[in-house]
Amino acid sequence: MKRKFIGLLTAASLLVGACSASGTAPAPGASSGTSSGAVSPGGGAITVTDALGRQVAFASAPTRIVIAGKALFMVADAVYLFPEASSRIVALGNTVQNKLAFIPMVDPGYGTKTILDTAAGPEQIAAARPDVVLMKSSNAETLGKPLEAIGVRVVYVDFETPDQYARDLKTLGQLFGDAARAQVLIAFFQGRADRVTTVLAGLQDAQKPRVLLLYYTNKNGTVAFNVPPLSYIQSTEVQLGGGRPVWKDAQLGNGWTTVTLEQIAAWDPDQIYVVAYSGNVTDVVKQLKADPQWQELRAVKGSALYGFAGDYYSWDQPDPRWVLGLTWLAAKIHPDRFVGLDMDAEVRGFYRDLYGMDDAAYDKNVKPYLSGDLP
Amino acid sequence: MTELLAFEEVTFGYGPEARPVFECLSLGVESGTATAILGPNGVGKSTLLHLALGWLRARSGRVLLDGRPLGAYPRRSLGRSMSLVPQAERTPFDYSVLDYVLLARAPYLASLAMPGPDDERIAREAIEEVGLGHLCHRAITTLSGGERQNVLVARALAQQPRLMLMDEPTSHLDLAHKVRLIGLVRDRIARGTTVLLTTHEPDVAAAIATHLVLMRDGQICGAGALADVFTSDNLSATYGVPVQIVRVDGRQAVLWT
Amino acid sequence: MPASRRLAAIALILGATVAVSLFVGRYPGPGPGIISPDRLATDDLAQRLVFNLRLPRLLTAVMLGMSLSAAGAVFQQIFANPLVEPGFLGVSQGAAFGASLAIVSLGSAAWLVQGSAAAFAFAGLGFSYFLARRGRFGGAVLRLVFAGIAVSALFSAGVGALKYAADPLSQLPEITFWLLGGLASVTWDQTWSIAPVVVASLFVIYRMRWRLNLLSLDDATAFSMGATPGRERALLLAAAVAATAAVVSVCGMVGWVGLIVPHIARRLFGADARYSVPAALLVGGLFGVLCDDVARTLLAGEIPIGILTSLIGALFFLVIMITYGHPVEQR
């Protein structure tokens, strides 16, 4: 009996030793051929620098791209800013938020693509035979590492702050072999942001209203209000939009922090913006305005309680729509400085320049889904 | 006459501040004898056996085996010299009788060794000796109280000790089993094993023991050969109730009112 | 059939299951399927998948099942209580606390989460032992049990606080997934990092298995048979906790295995640890592999393995309870 056990153990260790000594995955720096049998679209070898500063080399621009990992739709929306996306993305995860999904509408080939489960593991992703997998860098340990262990190349893009947008758009430009488009996009985002900051240049602190941005959740009847940490794009939008975030000096954690009504009253903000990722934000604002406790707040008395605007996705998030969120927010915080702003034209321009949608397509596909405090 | 086990001025209490269970207690057990410690419940009889084993350590005084303190012996050596039949044992696991008795072979095995065919033979013999040979492969959880007690005795026998410590061995037994056990112990004594047992039943003491120790309130109030110590007066003083010893057909019986 | 033959049979089944599992999965898909040997010979990606992902994962699943089961067997015999689990002495909750702490505050690099989980698992054991020493009430084993309950409760409160402080969008799901267990990110690195500890600990438990029978007795009785109950118990517990902490740090919290598999092993082989411990090892390994196979194959996404171990384990256990009697093994 003892001998059998030792025998099993020995056999097992021999097997383990043999396997780990034999083929290991080619390192991302190696320039071997594409891992599937797909035909390359032509063009020479490319090197991509990703969000973690890694250099990932390809013999030619990848044609089978998979988008995976958590918090997917924001990355997917950014990837689809490139017209090549539709033909080269073969699989992606779930892009639904609040029952709406933008990608199926904008991608004519969506029906033929594999939709990965939210909890898809490396094996399921490998089944799509990708040339490269795109994901946020927070997935590096759980998803990126095992994928690289089987020789699938991984490129990390985060798209979480305005600076990262510039960086990661450049990465995608390298990946798609379309640096020109990347430049156009970077210029667009930079331009829109610059326009806001230029209009608000020279503003003193005293002229900046005290703004509170709240993320509203209602789980099983329990309502909670959360504030973002300063690192989140929501805080950046408030600051760039010429407001003073009231939560600036609070000791917050790494993510959304729940705050009580008491704390909100103590902050006594001039304006309150409510964000909701599920449910109708206009309904939420209506409820709050009817709530006697909320009616005591100065911001509510002064009619400065607003639902954050959005369409498919709320515009506050680090989705490409953040520029819309910034523009809208700045115009709301300082309406006197943005008198001539035509929000409708802004949004149409966004969808035309970024997703190639003409007016007719916009009216049909986006306009019905506008939400929040829009004129 | 050699004293196999000796207590020298032993003081013991549970915990450093507790009231001592005994103070300066001295006791000797001679080789080849059967000594019964008789006394009411709670007087510290089990404690005495645990001290004899070396499991409990005296606050002051010494416990000697063959004239040497217990601490001087390696653990396994003590295990080969002394075995314990505990008062009661319950286990939720359905070991077979044989496996259970085999545990007693531990002092004869190296630290990682497991029992071999010789150990098994000794265990089987011990099981036969207590009359449970037909139950070798039964689960102990299916045995009656009396059979269980006999398994414990078999286990203590399989340890092949020079000194057997028995803690109230007849307390859960019906008459038939009691008689049988008494017969077994007498047999063992005749073959040279020294026995130290505790009991609160005077007639059991009378049936087995050659020597008697009477205990009350942590003190020894009488010790010596059975014939000398086993008197009505002594027993009445020990138990605090009037007791009379009667001789019937050459055997002693205890009467109380 | 004598016990050693039956053990060999289970060992064979385990080996065969591991071998077959190498070929089963969701590649190439769609849906669950098998990689045929032909395909394996020609497809690069399939080869790398099998040797760099599936093989380390399978070995880790075997180690997971073996460690938790052996630890469960050790705990159940030492505490003479068949309802005890490896996570008992604050080990599981300590590991959970360590991992949550790493995810929320220290940055969730995998080695940090693993190390923190392992460190706090041992801390849990250490605190329990320390508390038990200082306790005044009850015998040695009872004091350990109480100390374990207290330490588990403290760490559990800590986990609750950390879950509250965690970011609901990124950290909380990570903590939740860790608390449910999963082997999706296991590669050779992790397998190698835990293999030495696991193999050494399981070896110690295997060699000392007969002493476990002794230790399930009352301390005084074990002492009378020449055992050093305190020290032997400490060594076995340390080995059990070391193996548990190692696998939990890589795979997350996986419950029920340590509770159920020792029962199954005892049902099949009797209570004697000489046979029930190897049985627990083998059945546990088999159980781990089967649950992990289902976790990565059944659905399009990974199923947290803790859910499967509870479900499959409970069903398995029911079947054994109903069909098997009280066999005492024949030699």
For every residue of B163-193, DSSP letters joined together read EEEEESTTTT--HHHHHHHHHHHHHHHHTT-
- For chains A and C, count residue pairs whose Cβ atoms are closer than 8 Å: 138
pLDDT digits (tens, 9 = 90+) for A51-91: 999 999 999 889 999 999 877 889 999 999 999 999 999 99
CA distance C31 to C300: 7
- Residues in A closer than 8 angstroms to C30, CB to CB, are 114, 127
- Residues in B closer than 8 angstroms to C221, CB to CB, are 84, 86, 89
Placement of tokens 């409970």 in the chain: C314
Q: How confident is the model at residue A16 (pLDDT cuts 50, 70, 90)?
A: very low
- What count of other Cβ atoms lies within 10 Å of the Cβ of residue C102? 25
Question: Chain A contact for C54, CB < 8 A?
Answer: yes
Q: What is the mean pLDDT of residues A88-97?
A: 90
Q: Which residue of A has its CA nearest to C209?
A: A2
Question: Chain C contact for A349, CB < 8 A?
Answer: no
CB contact under 8 A, C217 and B91: yes
- Residues in C closer than 8 angstroms to A116, CB to CB, are 300-301
pLDDT at A42: 55
pLDDT at C170: 67
pLDDT at A39: 28
DSSP letters along C107-159, please? Answer: ---HHHHHHHHHHHHHHHHHHHHHHHHH--SS-HHHHHHHHHHHHHHHHHHHH
CB contact under 8 A, C81 and B138: no
Question: Chain B contact for C216, CB < 8 A?
Answer: yes
The answer to whether C277 touches C243, Cβ cutoff 8 Å, is no
Cα within 13 Å of Cα(A71), Cβ side: 21
Using CB atoms within 10 Å of the CB of residue A287, give its burial: 0 to 12 exposed, 13 to 18 middle, 19+ buried: middle
Q: Which sign, positive or negative, has the C-alpha torsion A236, A238, A241, A244? A: negative
Given a cut of 80, whether residue B16 has pLDDT beyond it is: no
Q: What is the mean pLDDT of residues B94-101?
A: 93
ipTM for this model: 0.89
CB contact under 8 A, A121 and C184: yes
Q: How confident is the model at residue A43 (pLDDT cuts 50, 70, 90)?
A: low
Given a cut of 60, whether residue A37 has pLDDT beyond it is: no
List Cβ neighbours of C93 (8 Å cut-off, separation of 6 or more): C87, C124, C151, C152, C153, C155, C156, C159
Q: How confident is the model at residue C171 (pLDDT cuts 50, 70, 90)?
A: confident
Q: What is the mean pLDDT of residues C93-107?
A: 84
Indicate the average pLDDT of chain B.
88
pLDDT digits (tens, 9 = 90+) for A153-198: 999 999 999 999 999 999 999 999 999 999 999 999 999 999 999 9
pLDDT at A118: 83
The answer to whether A113 touches A137, Cβ cutoff 8 Å, is no
pTM: 0.83
Q: Which residue of C has its CA nearest to B156?
A: C225
Percent of chain B at pLDDT exceeding 90? 32
- Residues in B closer than 8 angstroms to C216, CB to CB, are 91, 93
pLDDT digits (tens, 9 = 90+) for B119-178: 999 999 999 989 899 999 999 999 988 889 899 999 999 999 999 999 998 887 888 888
Single out the residue of C48, C58, C78, C45 nearest to residue C15, CA to CA: C58
pLDDT at C115: 82
Strand order in the sheet with B68-69: B22-30, B3-12, B60-65, B68-69
**β-strand B163-167 against A153-156: which pairing, if any?**
unpaired
CB contact under 8 A, C221 and B84: yes
The nearest CA of chain C is from the CA of A310 a distance in Å of 19
pLDDT digits (tens, 9 = 90+) for B48-80: 899 999 998 888 889 999 889 998 999 889 999
CB contact under 8 A, C80 and B75: no
Most C CBs within 10 A among A124, A158, A251, hence the mutation to make, goes to A124
CB contact under 8 A, A145 and C188: no
Which of C 112-151 lie inside 8 A of A, CB atoms?
A: none
Q: How confident is the model at residue C325 (pLDDT cuts 50, 70, 90)?
A: low
Q: What is the mean pLDDT of residues C33-60?
A: 89
The answer to whether C282 touches C269, Cβ cutoff 8 Å, is no
- Bond prior to C28 in cis (omega within 30° of 0): yes
Structure-token pair, residue B149: 């007690």
Single out the residue of A71, A98, A74 nearest to residue A319, CA to CA: A74
Q: How confident is the model at residue C169 (pLDDT cuts 50, 70, 90)?
A: low
The larger pLDDT score, comparing residue B17 to residue C49, is at: C49
Q: What is the mean pLDDT of residues A333-344?
A: 91
List Cβ neighbours of A265 (8 Å cut-off, separation of 6 or more): A296, A297
**β-strand A132-135 against B251-256: which pairing, if any?**
unpaired
Q: How confident is the model at residue B102 (pLDDT cuts 50, 70, 90)?
A: very high
- Residues in C closer than 8 angstroms to B94, CB to CB, are 266, 270-271, 326, 328
Structure-token pair, residue B176: 């038939």
